[in-house]
Amino acid sequence: MNTYFNEFTNKPEKLQGNGAYEKLPAGAICGNGDLGVVLSNDETDLIIHISKCDFWKFTPGAHNDGGIKSVGNIRIKNIDLSDYNVKQYFNEGLLKCKFSDTEIEFFVAPQNIIYFETKTPVSKNLPVINIEIPDTCNSVNSEFAENDVTCYTRKFTGENIDIETAVTVCLKKISTNKSDDCSISRYCVSVCTNFDSINHTKKAVEMVSDCDYDANKIKTREKWQKFFNSSKVTLEDKKIEKLYNLSLYLLACCMGNKKFPPGLFGNFITDDFFPWAGDYHMNYNYEAPYYCIFSSNHPELFEGYMSPLHDMSENAKKFAGFFGCKGYALPVSFGPKALDVFSQADCKEHGVLFLGQKSHAAYACVIPLMHWFSTYDKEYALENYYDFIFNVALFWEDYLVKENGRYVIKKDAAHEIPFYRGEKFRYTTHFGQVNTINAINSLGLVKLLFKGVYDMAKELNLNSEKYALWEDINENLSEFPTFIKHGKKCFRYSKFGIRWRNDNTVGLQHIYPASQIGFDSGEKLLKIAKNTYFINDRRLDDNGSNSYLPAGARIGVDPEFLIEGIHQNIKEFGLPNGLFRHYGGGIENLTTIPATINEMLMQSFEGVIRFFPCWNKKSDASFTNLRADGAFLVSAELKDKKISSIKITSLKGRLCKVNLEEIKSVVRESDNKEIEFKRNGNIISFETEENETYLL
């Protein structure tokens, strides 16, 4: 079975309703990381929706018709859609379609050009190609022709716009060739915004004028083959393996613009009216799509992540001051270029949408800290995120309260306080939430924050004056609160305040993604974690399966329980194109399968590499170049219940620790020489050299 292939044999269905999940498209998708296209149709025509990561309407306010907007559509007429077949080759970035007697192929080239080719019988009329630009949300649109190129512009401008945005779409028919039995026509569509080029219209015309269909098809294929050659997972369960690869493909389709990373729905939007304006939600939604990218050895997908956080730096400093603190604090949500969807006069905390939570900036640090521990790229960290993480640590240095030798977190809600605004809010009703003490998710995030900033500062030889304080916080931050539920000791959502919720996975996010509990945490803590894990089956949770399933692997629950959970998600929420129709957002659940499978096959966050730590040993599996903390690329195979073919490449020459009793030798690949290692029980450790590979 080709697990880099997907097929659609029915027209995509559009659900009716107003829920977030009902807006997600079901049609085939392709993209290049910035420009995305989604196939759709009406009763008679094929429609290709175009969206781009940087095309937003910058209207401030609580989603006052601002947010990410549709670029437009390519409409293809004169084709019979009654016999529908679309083949998706995601290791080539290619869609091949057959609609009755018409064949069409699509791909999105790296330089933001959509190419497509139509093939029709000579006895039939050629398909008619039109570009449609939406006239919603008060955009200013225009159309003109320049030689053989038709151009369309869409612009948001005016007094109520913070930043003017504009896009030009150019359509060119490249060629038409006829043979005895068919006509083959080729087209290209360029898309260029004012963030790509000040003179975006001129640039868009140049792009189609210089187009080369065959050369760019090759470049597109090479790009995606290189992407999938970075790592590989092979499973007996080919359905999961395919969805693993498809999830990574879709993430890469929308994670390529270094200034405009994907919001809630990526660049897969099909109109101007997606929920929450498609913004950046900081209490897990923005971060979740990135959970899997480092273990999958795709750190390049991180490159845009920090941009909106840096854009918010002045606001973040001001917000920290609201609470009498230095450093950075963030609201629940915002847009790129610090788009203000957070100022709401009826909010009880300084008119800003915090909803009782102070943990948003700490949550934002999870992903750059994943990057740090998995790459140890000092130069990159210093240039891209050390300052942000340091400023978030400054906030928490001030915000933490030390009582009886322990650092305590006060007035930081575990969950959003949904009515912490407006005339209907009653303080007495939400007294416990408003006055929360030691929310468990915040404890986990703050523990990770200070572990990370301390490790990074020492490696970079910076801020040594802070080491003693950071060590003290790391050693004396409050323990995770617990209580007895259903006769078992479990984690409580907060020491004072909310005890438990039967929805969401906030009570487990200190395990994953905050990485505070795992196999080395001791039997007592692991038992509490498992008790908590199984109070409710959260595998199908609308706001948390993407952390619930990987958390299960971290603490070693029954692997078949996790595999069954993946299949349940596919069955209940999976769309034909690989997206998941959960309520909690659009692209966040693309991380669920790769993050969970990676954690089941290999773990390293505690500084020790483990092979198949949460895997049914009766099921053969292998992986190549999964990325481990410490900057190692790791490969191994499980066959007939035996682990073999272990290969570890050291990218930074750090000490390597491996937990596997059966290891008898460590051989340096370059000269086939055995090197010395130390053993402590099941764990061996050995020194490595940069860019050297070791066979175990």
CATH number at residue 79: 2.70.98.50
Closest CA to 257 of 205, 329, 196, 210: 196
Closest CA to 68 of 77, 58, 76: 58
The reply to whether 575 and 648 lie within a common domain is: no
Strand partners, 484: 489
DSSP labels, 112-176? TEEEEEEEEETTSPPPEEEEE----TT-EEEEEEETTEEEEEEEE-STT-SS-EEEEEEEEEEEE
Reported as a single tens digit per residue, the pLDDT across 57-89 is 999 886 778 999 999 999 999 999 999 999 999
Contacts by 617-623, CB closer than 8 A, 24 or more apart: 617/641, 619/235, 619/236, 619/237, 620/236, 621/233, 621/234, 621/235, 621/236, 622/233, 622/234, 623/231, 623/232, 623/233, 623/234, 623/598
Closest CA to 190 of 276, 239, 131, 240: 131
Report the C-alpha gap between 636 and 625 in whole angstroms: 9
Report the C-alpha gap between 41 and 522 in whole angstroms: 55
The mean pLDDT value of the chain amounts to: 94
Do the beta carbons of residue 336 and residue 307 sit within 8 Å?
yes
The pLDDT score that the predictor gives to residue 180 is 77
CATH number at residue 689: 2.60.40.1180
The reply to whether 82 and 41 lie within a common domain is: yes
Which has the minimum average pLDDT: 190-194, 329-333, 375-379, 662-666? 662-666
Do the beta carbons of residue 540 and residue 473 sit within 8 Å?
no
Closest CA to 153 of 108, 208, 205, 109: 205
Q: Average of pLDDT values for 662-679?
A: 94
- Percent of the chain surpassing pLDDT 70: 99
Reported as a single tens digit per residue, the pLDDT across 228-262 is 999 999 999 999 999 999 999 999 999 999 999 99
* pLDDT > 60? residue 18: no
Q: Band the pLDDT of 13: cuts 50, 70, 90.
A: confident
Q: Confirm whether 245 is domain-assigned.
A: no
The reply to whether 585 and 632 lie within a common domain is: no
Q: Band the pLDDT of 5: cuts 50, 70, 90.
A: very high
The reply to whether 416 and 548 lie within a common domain is: no
The reply to whether 677 and 547 lie within a common domain is: no
The reply to whether 550 and 647 lie within a common domain is: no
Strands (E), 533-664: 602-603, 609-611, 621-628, 632-639, 642-650, 656-659
Q: Which domain holds residue 546?
A: 501-600
Q: Confirm whether 550 is domain-assigned.
A: yes
The reply to whether 99 and 151 lie within a common domain is: yes
The reply to whether 458 and 594 lie within a common domain is: no
Reported as a single tens digit per residue, the pLDDT across 545-597 is 899 999 999 999 999 999 999 999 999 999 999 999 887 668 999 999 999 99
The reply to whether 572 and 635 lie within a common domain is: no
Q: Confirm whether 608 is domain-assigned.
A: no
The reply to whether 520 and 591 lie within a common domain is: yes
Do the beta carbons of residue 611 and residue 660 sit within 8 Å?
yes
Task: Give the chain's domain count.
Answer: 4
